[in-house]
């Protein structure tokens, strides 16, 4: 069996890592679709049934927590993609004279500086609206639809506490998303 040249081995490694990056992108979209499907199902179920407001609130807070989990999963995929991209750029591209990651980094830098856009920040925005919307419905049903007459009972304080935890988690993940996305080497 002939020994492959170093360039062939490096090219094979490069191709496999690029496939992993594409798989991460596909997985992020699948996670988002699943979260949207489940939270949409929860909303449809809650709006079509008549049961206690506290159960409706709990279901909406569950949907918000599911949105946070989905966002955390996408942050993890983004970090993994960036680590692979940095590895390709630092270790493989100089030896193979392939400049895909270098050109992609330059393109992202141009897009951000020229248009103020991050290529994948739209996922962060979708998750944010999803979580905050679910929280808003959760608070509405937790207060029995009487937001203007919010009574500070023990149960209402528990709902407000859950809402605060979700919002703080959302802010934390928003920051983590930004850090993961900005970790590409210039």
Q: Distance between the two ends of the chain, CA-based, in angstroms?
A: 41
Q: What is the pLDDT of residues 45-77, one digit of tens each?
A: 998 888 888 889 889 989 998 998 998 888 888
Torsion of CA 12, 15, 21, 27, to 10 degrees: -90
Strands (E), the chain: none
pTM, whole model, 2 decimals?
A: 0.74
What is the pLDDT averaged over residues 5-11?
83
pLDDT confidence tier of residue 180, bands split at 50, 70 and 90? low
Q: What is the pLDDT of residues 83-108, one digit of tens each?
A: 888 888 888 888 888 877 777 777 76
């Amino acid at each position: 069996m002939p020994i492959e040249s170093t360039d062939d081995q490096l090219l094979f490694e490069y191709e496999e890592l690029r496939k992993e990056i594409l798989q991460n992108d596909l997985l992020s979209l699948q996670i988002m679709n699943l979260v949207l499907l489940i939270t949409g199902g929860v909303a449809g179920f809650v709006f079509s049934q008549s049961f206690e407001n506290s159960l409706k609130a709990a279901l909406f807070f569950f949907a918000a927590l599911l949105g946070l989990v989905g966002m955390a999963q996408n942050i993890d995929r983004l970090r993994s993609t960036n680590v692979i991209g940095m590895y390709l750029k630092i270790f493989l591209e100089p030896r193979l004279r392939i400049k895909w990651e270098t050109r992609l980094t330059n393109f992202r830098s141009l897009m951000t500086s020229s248009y103020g856009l991050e290529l994948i920040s739209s996922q962060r925005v979708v998750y944010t609206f999803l979580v905050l919307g679910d929280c808003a419905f959760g608070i509405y049903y937790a207060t029995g639809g009487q937001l203007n007459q919010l009574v500070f009972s023990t149960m209402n304080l528990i709902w407000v506490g859950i809402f605060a935890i979700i919002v703080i988690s959302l802010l934390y993940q928003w920051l983590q998303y930004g850090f993961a996305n900005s970790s590409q080497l210039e």
